[in-house]
Amino acid sequence: MTKKLFSIALAVVFIVAFAVSGFAFEEYEVLPDIFYDKSIDSTDQFLVKITRPEGDETTICKTYLICGNAKEDGITIQLLVENENGDLEKYVMNDGSGRSSWEVDAYSYFQKEVVLKEGPNRIRVTAYKTSEEYDLKVGENLQVNNFTVTLLNQSFKDYVNKGIVKIGDLLRSFFGK
């Protein structure tokens, strides 16, 4: 009986140990203040080339893909978004991973989907050399890119859709179809 209890207790310990190690502890780590400093402007794209967005954009879609590719190995990309208080915070991916950052290698392509709120969405994409994460300097080993992606409200989408339908009706009547 003692062996069975010991075996069960040991199994529980192993299960808990492996389950805990599977959690993404990075979400509990505090990023350096430099990531949250809103006064920092965008730098050149020297670690990763961001292909989307190309600048500030407007969309009618509730989700938006941020895309790019790394220029060298061992780069970590961190996404931050502005919250309702105007502060930057980590953006937790909606892919079920619970992560807000990921590592890429040279020439690898990345894309991450961001869920937008109505109105302007201020997004910061940072990239840094993973091996130098404890000594980051903007423009040297830390790339910062700020974007605003504006999600138009439903009434504007309806207005555009009605306009497209009316143009289609006009063209059909003009061409007799």
Peptide bond into 32 cis (omega under 30): no
| Nearest residue to 145 (alpha-carbon basis) of 96, 84, 77, 89 | 77
Q: Flag whether 4 is in a domain.
A: no
Q: What is the pLDDT of residue 99?
A: 84
Report the CATH number at residue 143. 2.60.40.10
Q: What is the pLDDT of residues 91-105, one digit of tens each?
A: 988 777 778 899 999
Q: Determine the Cα–Cα distance for residues 171 and 115; give it in Å rounded to an integer.
A: 36
* Domain range enclosing 73: 31-167
Q: What is the pLDDT of residue 93?
A: 83
Q: How confident is the model at residue 25 (pLDDT cuts 50, 70, 90)?
A: very low
If one counts the domains in the chain, the total is 1
Residue 80 CB neighbour total at 10 angstroms: 23
| Nearest residue to 107 (alpha-carbon basis) of 72, 134, 136, 55 | 72
Question: Does the model's pTM come out above 0.75?
Answer: no
Taking residues 80-93, report their average pLDDT: 93
Task: Compute the mean pLDDT over every residue in the chain, rounded to the nearest whole number.
Answer: 82
